[in-house]
Amino acid sequence: MFRFLVRRVIGALVILLIISAVTFSLYYALPRDPARMACGKVCTPELLAQVRHNLGIADPLPVQYWHWLQGVFVGRDYGGLGNCNAPCLGFSFTNREPVLGTIMDRLPLTISLALGASVFFLIIGVGTGMIAAVKQGRAADKIASSFSLLGSSLQIYFVGYIAMYFLVQQLGLLEQPSYTPFTENPAKWAAGLLLPWLVLSIIFTANYTRMTRSQLVEQLSEDYVRTARAKGMSRRSVFFRFAWRGAMGPIVTIFGIDMGTLIGGAIITESVFSLQGLGRLALTAVDANDLPMLLGVTMVAAGAIVFANIIVDAVYALIDPRIRLA
Amino acid sequence: MTSTDQQAFLSVRDLKVHFSTEDGIVKAVDGLSFDLEKGKTLGIVGESGSGKSVTNLTILGLHDRHRTAIDGEILLDGKELTTARESELEKLRGNKMAMIFQDALASLSPYHTIGKQIGETYRKHTGASKSEARKRAIEMLRRVGIPQPDMRVDDYPHQFSGGMRQRAMIAMALVCDPELLIADEPTTALDVTVQAQIMDLLKDLQQEFGTAIVFITHDLGVIADIADDVLVMYGGRCVERGTKEEVLRTPQHPYTVGLLSSMPSLDGPVDVPLSPIPGSPPSLLNPPSGCRFHPRCTFAEKVPGGLCSTERPLLKVEAGRGSACHLTLDQRQEFFADLAATRH
Amino acid sequence: MSNTNPLLDVTGLTKHFPVKGGFPIRRTVGAVQAVDGLDFQVNEGEALGLVGESGCGKSTTGRLITRLLEPTGGKISYRGQDITHAGRKELAPVRSEIQMIFQDPYASLNPRQTVGKIISGPMEINDINPEGGREKRVRELLEIVGLNPEHYNRFPHEFSGGQRQRIGVARALALEPKLIVADEPVSALDVSIQAQVVNLLQKVQQELGIAFVFIAHDLAVVRHFSQRVAVMYLGKIVEIADRDDLYGNPRHPYTKALLSAVPEATVDETPARERIRLQGDVPSPLNPPSGCRFRTRCWKATEKCATEAPPLVQVEGNKPGHLTACHYPETEGTIPAPRLSKDPQAAA
């Protein structure tokens, strides 16, 4: 297990390295000059060269990348712009601050959004899926399946705006989405995020309902479930101790991927509800041609996905001895 | 299989099992009767779709209750099982009656250790503690011939070889000393040398505990080795029954004759072609009329009046011996006489 | 094997599947010795049976001959041409002469293709245009395998298991092969259907003069079908002989044990064969026993068996062509010494 984890972490670091290099190269393939934008209206060639140097974009591409990598591990000094301590993901072209600081400011909101929504969609999705599996082929199953189909065909911007209009503006049932740090006021934190959570979970729930149902139906038709019944185990204990155990793996897998994606930033959701999370940050960075910021957000998002996958694999191994003891 | 007046340990009377599917009603078992006494082995022979496996899932009550209609009686030690409540059946399963399956790898939970799966059955029915159950599991593994049982008890099924998995499954089935053991093709997935071991094991255990065994197989060779009595099923019905000697030496039904003469053997003639049964096993969704074997039967035309395709032949049983065929006994003697010559 | 020009000549054929492992960098740490040094020939028009239990390498051997797998070592010659490592182009003409029939009649036919398309597939790939067109040829083939030529446009799911296996046979015959490798062609079929397919294959073999490598675990079926039989154990041939010699006078203890374990549908008072019950299971091919691979389950094994691998030779008392790989071959009528109660774990 330990060996497995070490090997996977090494692999993950290699993937992140590749992603950073690709993002870097792609950005410089664009015909836009960040130095000219940063230089301002009164820009002499000398000043431009100075800005270039300060931004760290005067050198050839591989050298720039090397400096960026160095920054990640030992920090970096940006001349007149200031100092950036390790781990330094770069220095923003626009707000002239270390990228990581800005990201860390935004991250709590994004994580709150992801975790809160996941509680809703896991409970509702998996619960509905279980009911559908038990009542296979009967009314409850058909209703759950229809709702699941409906949910998966909805879009956040559509549901989001409608929900906001009715639930917040017309009926006043929910608060206007906003973010208050959990440490400051947990009640306000939850109240401000409740609507985005619900809207996000409508979209995700469907997936979990379908997945849970199909996994459980498959597991319940496995030979070992029949054996357990032949041993005299009750339907209930067979369901939870055998079928559910087997169904968990694939559910954990998509959950890991979803969490990774959500922590990387729910761009549409944040935009719809005007929340300042990582997704919005990425959008503004693209708009402003802010490479270090974009690279920083990309790395955090990629890191979240890659490490969520490692956790998924580890959990998988805990569930299934065939993987653990292979 | 003695006369029916005396109550047998397991007694199945005119059992009908019908499923409803999207395509219609499947008559998986269509009027089946047999008796089995303690310490005896009944071999049930049949091909895919003969209803042999369904019969036995029904005895344990493991069929899908929402889709299945059951008619007839299943009496275990005098207790009616077809109308028994689920909670009553749960107390019997794994305790008084147990089952082993063909594919031991798929039939054992991959998520739990062998010891846990054996001990679980024991705890469920005896209320034993965890440590007692573990001790019992080790004892059972030893009894079925697993070397170093105190170490292997903590292994998972995938760490066992095919033969050992089947032994473990037998250990699990026998952990509560059941009086009835249903074995559904338990050796089909195994190599012959391991199959021989498993059959010896079952015979030894039966001698020791006096278990009644229903042994389902498609292999007449296995039947010859393990069964006392034989029941041949075709298309959801019993076509012939009798002692092993009677059925294998002097088969009375054309299907049994066909099965026996289509099998190659290790010392028969090799230069003549095998004598297969023409056609394919019937669909239970839309089974042939009359005798279900008649479309494949080479003797059907010898019966006057096309009786075979219009009228179901009744199973006439006398002293446990009988067959369901419209041919007269004289005709059969005449037609089946060359069986010995065509045996391969 | 007096024939000096066999159709297929296999020498020292070896296939090891690498096993990855190690830390922190994964590397090859061992090999599953699926097939380890096979020598055998198949003559034109001859049926060679390959029997053995699961894990003995018989299916791997079939896939090596048809070059679905790349051999690790040894040599495969087809009509004198070395095809061991032949590339796609060189192999093309040979591929059409060596065909394969698979075990599972459900998985080996594309469910979205009509029977006509399935059977004419090999002709299309090899750009063969028989006289009168491909469709006419397919209809002929359907007739040969006992199916209705009118079923040309039907799909596999409209056929029963036995009929599907007939379609598989028709496909194999489409290119007029000289050699067919049949891997467990009847074991997925119902007993009453097996004989139909065996008879069909036998008809094909005799009437069209096609050589067969017939891979099966059912010793009775192999006996019925094959003129010569090779018995495999853990990647090696332990005995090879003409059918009657092998079944009538088995010299290798494993062959003898295997034959004695086959349950026969007879109720005679005196069993035809002495009963030998092997202990334990087949050891892992990842780490096979030293010397003779059967020694861990053999009642005759001595020190010599552990150190010295017995060569496959014509031991004393064997007829020409009857080869046995054993230091202490059985003699006819001997009663085996009482079995040693071996711990099967010692082998694993």
Residue C223 in contact with partner chain B when CB distance is under 8 A:
yes
Distances (CA, A) of A167 to A160, A171, A173, B258: 10, 5, 5, 75
Q: Closest-CA residue in chain B for C216?
A: B191
Residue C148 in contact with partner chain B when CB distance is under 8 A:
no
Is A262 found in the same domain as A200? yes
Q: Closest-CA residue in chain A for C24?
A: A7
CA distance B333 to chain A (A): 43
Hey, of C19, C20, C23, which one would you mutate to test binding to chain A, going by the most A CBs within 10 A of its CB? C23
Q: Please give the residue range of the domain that contains residue C159.
A: 6-16+29-263+270-291+308-322
Residue C267 in contact with partner chain B when CB distance is under 8 A:
yes
Please, which chains are in contact with B (at least 3 CB pairs closer than 8 A)?
A, C
Is A192 found in the same domain as A84? no
Q: Is C343 left (phi over 0), alpha (psi -120 to 50) or beta?
A: beta
Q: Would you tell me which residues 109-128 of chain B have a C-beta closer than 8 angstroms to some C-beta of chain A? A: 109-111, 120-121, 124-125
Residues in chain B with CB shorter than 8 Å from the CB of C247 are: 266-267
Which residues does chain C have with pLDDT short of 70? 1-4, 23-24, 269-273, 332-348
Query: What does the pLDDT look like over B244-273, one tens digit per residue?
Result: 999 999 999 999 999 998 989 888 888 888
For residues A188 and A178, give the distance between their C-alpha atoms in angstroms, rounded to a whole number: 9
CB contact under 8 A, A6 and C24: yes
Is A317 found in the same domain as A236? yes
pLDDT at site A31: 64
Q: Closest-CA residue in chain A for C22?
A: A3
* pTM reported for the whole predicted model: 0.85
Residue C20 in contact with partner chain A when CB distance is under 8 A:
no
3-state secondary structure B168-197: HHHHHHHCCCCCEEEEECCCCCCCHHHHHH
Is A65 found in the same domain as A162? no
Q: C289: part of which helix (H) or strand (E)?
A: none
Is A111 found in the same domain as A77? no
List the one residue out of C260, C246, C257 whose CA is nearest residue C280.
C257
Q: DSSP class of residue B326?
A: S
Residue A232 in contact with partner chain B when CB distance is under 8 A:
yes
CB B71 within 8 A of CB B15: yes
Q: Closest-CA residue in chain B for C284?
A: B161
How many Cβ contacts (< 8 angstroms) between chains B and C? 138
Is A82 found in the same domain as A173? no
For residues C68 and C57, give the distance between their C-alpha atoms in angstroms, rounded to a whole number: 14
What one-letter code names the amino acid at B240? E
CB contact under 8 A, B197 and C198: no
Residue C259 in contact with partner chain B when CB distance is under 8 A:
yes
CB contact under 8 A, B224 and C198: no
Residue B337 has pLDDT above 80, yes or no: no
| Band of pLDDT at residue B340, cut at 50, 70 and 90 | low
CB contact under 8 A, A231 and B91: no
Is A255 found in the same domain as A108? yes
Asked whether residue C147 is domain-assigned, the answer is yes
CA distance A12 to chain B (A): 28
pLDDT at site C269: 61
pLDDT at site C95: 87
CA distance C23 to chain A (A): 7
pLDDT at site B251: 92
Q: Closest-CA residue in chain A for C26?
A: A7
CB contact under 8 A, A322 and B158: yes
CB contact under 8 A, B191 and C54: yes
**Segments making up each domain of chain B, as ranges:** 97-177, 251-342
CB B216 within 8 A of CB B210: no
CA atoms within 13 A on the CB side of B239: 29
Query: What does the pLDDT look like over C197-250, one tens digit per residue?
Result: 999 999 999 999 999 999 999 999 999 999 999 999 999 999 999 999 999 999
Residues in chain B with CB shorter than 8 Å from the CB of C243 are: 270
Q: Closest-CA residue in chain A for B67?
A: A137
Hey, of A136, A224, A234, A241, which one would you mutate to test binding to chain B, going by the most B CBs within 10 A of its CB? A224
Asked whether residue C302 is domain-assigned, the answer is no
The three-class DSSP label of residue A139 is: helix
User: How big is chain C, counted in residues?
Assistant: 348
List the one residue out of C306, C312, C258 whose CA is nearest residue C282.
C258
Q: Is A317 left (phi over 0), alpha (psi -120 to 50) or beta?
A: alpha
Q: What is the CATH number of the domain that holds C183?
A: 3.40.50.300
Q: Closest-CA residue in chain B for A325?
A: B159
Is A55 found in the same domain as A175? no
CB contact under 8 A, C191 and B225: no
Q: Please give the residue range of the domain that contains residue A207.
A: 103-324
Asked whether residue A16 is domain-assigned, the answer is no
CB contact under 8 A, C196 and B278: yes
Query: What does the pLDDT look like over B186-241, one tens digit per residue?
Result: 998 888 888 998 999 999 999 999 999 999 999 999 999 999 999 999 999 999 99
Number of domains in chain A: 2
Asked whether residue A43 is domain-assigned, the answer is yes
CB contact under 8 A, A3 and C26: no
How many Cβ contacts (< 8 angstroms) between chains A and C? 8
CA distance B202 to chain A (A): 18
Hey, of A134, A138, A225, A231, which one would you mutate to test binding to chain B, going by the most B CBs within 10 A of its CB? A231
Which residues does chain A have with pLDDT short of 50? none
Residues in chain A with CB shorter than 8 Å from the CB of B103 are: 223
Residues in chain B with CB shorter than 8 Å from the CB of A229 are: 62, 93
Asked whether residue C200 is domain-assigned, the answer is yes
Poorest-confidence range of A314-323, B12-21, B114-123?
A314-323
* DSSP notation for B216-273: EES-HHHHHHH-SEEEEEETTEEEEEEEHHHHHHS--SHHHHHHHHHS--SSS-SSS-
**Sequence-distant (≥ 6) Cβ neighbours of residue C126 within 8 angstroms:** C92, C95, C96, C175
pLDDT at site C192: 85
CB contact under 8 A, A6 and C26: no
Residue C277 in contact with partner chain A when CB distance is under 8 A:
no
ipTM (interface predicted TM): 0.87
State the distance between the two ends of chain C, measured CA to CA, in whole angstroms.
36
Residue C87 in contact with partner chain A when CB distance is under 8 A:
no
CB contact under 8 A, B193 and C278: yes
C277 vs B200, B266, B280: nearest CB: B200
pLDDT at site B304: 86
CB B297 within 8 A of CB B254: yes
Structure tokens at C124: 């299309």
Residues in chain B with CB shorter than 8 Å from the CB of C47 are: none
Q: What is the torsional sign of CA C120, C123, C125, C129?
A: negative
CB contact under 8 A, B111 and A230: no
CB contact under 8 A, B125 and A321: no
| Tokens 């996905």 belong to residue | A305
What is the rounded radius of gyration, in angstroms, for the C-alpha atoms of chain C? 21
CB contact under 8 A, A3 and C24: yes
Residue C27 in contact with partner chain A when CB distance is under 8 A:
no
Beta-ladder partners of B318: B321
Q: Closest-CA residue in chain B for C199?
A: B273
CA distance A7 to chain C (A): 6
Number of domains in chain C: 1
The three-class DSSP label of residue B149 is: helix
CB contact under 8 A, B47 and C282: no
Residue C272 in contact with partner chain B when CB distance is under 8 A:
yes
Hey, of C266, C286, C294, which one would you mutate to test binding to chain B, going by the most B CBs within 10 A of its CB? C266
Q: Would you tell me which residues 227-256 of chain C have a C-beta closer than 8 angstroms to some C-beta of chain B? A: 243, 247
Residues in chain B with CB shorter than 8 Å from the CB of A223 are: 101, 103, 106-107
Q: What is the CATH number of the domain that holds A168?
A: 1.10.3720.10
